[in-house]
Amino acid sequence: MKQSSLFRADPMQSRQNLLPKDGAAHYYPEFISHHSSAKLMTQLVESLPWEEDRLLMFGKVVTTRRKVVWIGDPKCDYTYSGIKRQSQKWTAELLLVKGQLEDLTKSKFNSCLLNLYHDGLDGMGWHSDDEKELDAKSPIASLSLGATRKFAFRHKKDKTTHSLLLENGSALIMHSPTQEHWHHALLKTKKIDEPRINLTFRNITPNDQ
């Protein structure tokens, strides 16, 4: 898989901040081609140790339809929604994506959360990626593969909202202090019956620090 044939994002492609205040988010609709996206999606589905996502709600562990994998450097385990996940090793494909997103954002990432949504009935409720392990100053870089889905932001105080469609092969970069002031969600819909994989690259504090 040649780097030049996989990625085609122009850093100048997304100059406009999607958020009106208290943060910054930039969208790149053609970070990779549809052909490369389909190939990468197949590789990820077949090669990674997917497992059902588990959440701690009201003192009970709840299993969702959505499947997840946590990838990271050594000692980069991650706890979210009350569940601790041990990091799996990077694959060659994920390292390639990570490198290109690092070039785009001028930042370094040491971990990646992958979510597999089977169809439009799988989604993600309102939340912020603000767990204590996360570097609050580092951007969060997201790559979408597969079905186009509606993604929304909601301001924590005045409830201002903004939504956009995350297209196949697109990248979304959320910069600090977005997580401090905004929630975001992947909205559910009955109209979509195709799968989607989202890769979210982050920088967290290793467990021994």
Number of neighbouring beta carbons within 10 Å of residue 62: 13
Residue 38, judged by CB atoms within 10 A of its CB (0-12, 13-18, 19+), counts as middle
The answer to whether residue 13 sits within a structural domain is no
User: Do 110 and 140 meet the contact criterion of CB atoms below 8 Å apart?
Assistant: no
Domain of 69 in residue numbering reads as: 42-202
The answer to whether residue 208 sits within a structural domain is no
Please provide residue 65's backbone torsions phi and psi, each rounded to the nearest 5 degrees. -70, -30
Residue 27, CA atoms < 13 Å, CB-side half-sphere = 15
The answer to whether residue 33 sits within a structural domain is no
The answer to whether residue 1 sits within a structural domain is no
One-letter identity of residue 87 = S
Asked if the peptide bond before residue 11 counts as cis, ω within 30 degrees of 0, the response is no
User: Which tokens in the block code for residue 90?
Assistant: 């990077």
The answer to whether residue 198 sits within a structural domain is yes
Each of the 209 residues of the chain gets a pLDDT tens digit; together they read 444 445 655 555 566 899 999 999 999 999 999 999 999 999 999 999 999 877 666 677 777 789 999 999 998 988 776 677 889 999 999 999 999 999 999 999 999 999 999 999 999 999 998 888 889 899 999 999 999 999 999 999 999 999 999 999 999 999 999 999 999 999 999 999 999 999 999 999 887 65
| Structural domain count of the chain | 1
CATH of residue 185's domain is 2.60.120.590
Residue 4, judged by CB atoms within 10 A of its CB (0-12, 13-18, 19+), counts as exposed
The answer to whether residue 29 sits within a structural domain is no
Number of neighbouring beta carbons within 10 Å of residue 138: 18
